[in-house]
């Protein structure tokens, strides 16, 4: 499995789609925080926040993460290297590999937002959280934390937990990718599906039983983290994400073990 992970990461490092996606994430993260500064200083009207939302981590990570999830799984089927992988390992190991690589890919998309938010936080400049997202909460320093090592450590932990939450949400693309083996289809369903599930989760959050069930998944509203999140919130988000990832990996294996490899 270790060799499979190394092989996948090597392939992805040389993938044009991955490179472009990471570049887009970096540009979007910088633009996102820059606009938060411009709105806070009055250089831009608050109404500009509507247009700036397309640069948000939610939009970019859901879109590019869904695309890369399809690439992570479907590339081996397109190039026929899936046959070589199955000669040296089991289908269960291959599914586990794709799950680990998906987490790494999603983390790489989230990382630019975390880094830019941290730099903005330490800069002491004025920013506004024009959207209720974790990275604007960090850069705007809504909790009034001091710019010291302790605060940096807190930010790193929150960003790491957010990476895991995003990876778990996007893991719904895994069984879909093993079923259809088409990156574009996975991107379309994954992108729209995540927004749909997020919307439904907000509707049922106060509904008995249903709200509790949603809270056990990474889509639960309480798993949208901020610097105000305590250790219990972080552990709950990480635990729900890990369990959900395992369930999606299991579903992917059930699909893949019955699939004919051509």
pLDDT at 26: 95
pLDDT at 113: 95
Six-digit token string for 216: 């056990």
Domain carrying residue 201: 2-256
Upper half-sphere CA count for residue 210 (Cβ side, 13 Å): 9
Residue at 240 is within a domain = yes
Long-range contacts of 146-150 (CB under 8 A, 24+ apart): 147/121, 147/122
Upper half-sphere CA count for residue 235 (Cβ side, 13 Å): 3
pLDDT at 156: 94
Residue 16 confidence (pLDDT) above 90: no
Residue 148 confidence (pLDDT) above 70: yes
Residue 50 confidence (pLDDT) above 90: no
Using an 8 Å Cβ cutoff, are 69 and 190 in contact? yes
Residue 262 confidence (pLDDT) above 60: no
Distance CA 79, CA 93 (A): 19
Six-digit token string for 186: 């996975």
Residue 230 confidence (pLDDT) above 60: yes
Overall average pLDDT of the 89-109 stretch:
89
Name which residue leads in pLDDT, 117 or 1: 117
Residue 92 confidence (pLDDT) above 70: yes
Give me the chain's average pLDDT, please.
85
User: Which range (2-6, 103-107, 236-240) has the least confidence?
Assistant: 2-6
Residue at 224 is within a domain = yes
Name which residue leads in pLDDT, 262 or 232: 232
Name which residue leads in pLDDT, 32 or 84: 32
Find which of 71-80, 94-103, 214-223 is predicted with most confidence, using mean pLDDT. 94-103
pLDDT at 132: 84
Q: Count the domains in the chain.
A: 1
Query: Can you give the pTM of this predicted structure?
Result: 0.91
Using an 8 Å Cβ cutoff, are 249 and 239 in contact? no
Residue at 261 is within a domain = no
pLDDT at 87: 65
Overall average pLDDT of the 41-48 stretch:
79
Task: Say what percent of the chain tops pLDDT 70.
Answer: 94
Distance CA 30, CA 115 (A): 10
Using an 8 Å Cβ cutoff, are 27 and 54 in contact? no
Residue at 64 is within a domain = yes
pLDDT at 243: 94
Using an 8 Å Cβ cutoff, are 50 and 159 in contact? no
Per-residue pLDDT tens over the stretch 124-133 = 888 988 888 8
pLDDT band at residue 23 using 50, 70 and 90 as cut-offs: very high
């Amino acid at each position: 499995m270790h060799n499979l992970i190394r092989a996948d990461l090597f392939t992805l490092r040389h993938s044009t789609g991955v490179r472009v996606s990471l570049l887009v994430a970096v540009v979007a993260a910088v633009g996102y925080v820059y606009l938060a500064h411009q709105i806070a200083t009055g250089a831009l009207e608050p109404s500009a926040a509507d247009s700036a939302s397309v640069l948000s981590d939610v939009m970019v990570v859901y879109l590019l993460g869904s695309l890369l999830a399809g690439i992570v799984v479907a590339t081996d089927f397109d190039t026929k290297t899936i046959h070589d992988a199955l000669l040296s390992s089991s289908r269960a190991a291959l599914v586990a590999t794709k799950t680990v690589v998906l987490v790494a890919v999603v983390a790489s998309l989230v990382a630019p937002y975390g880094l830019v938010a941290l730099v903005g936080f330490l800069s002491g400049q004025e920013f506004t959280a024009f959207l209720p997202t974790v990275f604007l909460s960090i850069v705007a320093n809504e909790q009034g934390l001091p710019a010291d090592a302790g605060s940096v450590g807190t930010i790193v932990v929150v960003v790491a937990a957010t990476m895991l939450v995003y990876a778990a949400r996007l893991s719904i693309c895994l069984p879909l990718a093993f079923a259809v083996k088409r990156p574009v289809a996975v991107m379309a369903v994954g992108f729209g599906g995540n927004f749909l599930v997020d919307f439904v989760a907000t509707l049922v959050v106060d509904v008995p039983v249903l709200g509790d069930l949603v809270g056990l998944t990474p889509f639960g509203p309480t798993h949208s983290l901020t610097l105000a999140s305590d250790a219990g919130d972080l552990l709950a988000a990480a635990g729900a994400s890990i369990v959900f990832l395992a369930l999606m990996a299991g579903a992917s294996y059930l699909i893949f073990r019955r699939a004919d490899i051509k």
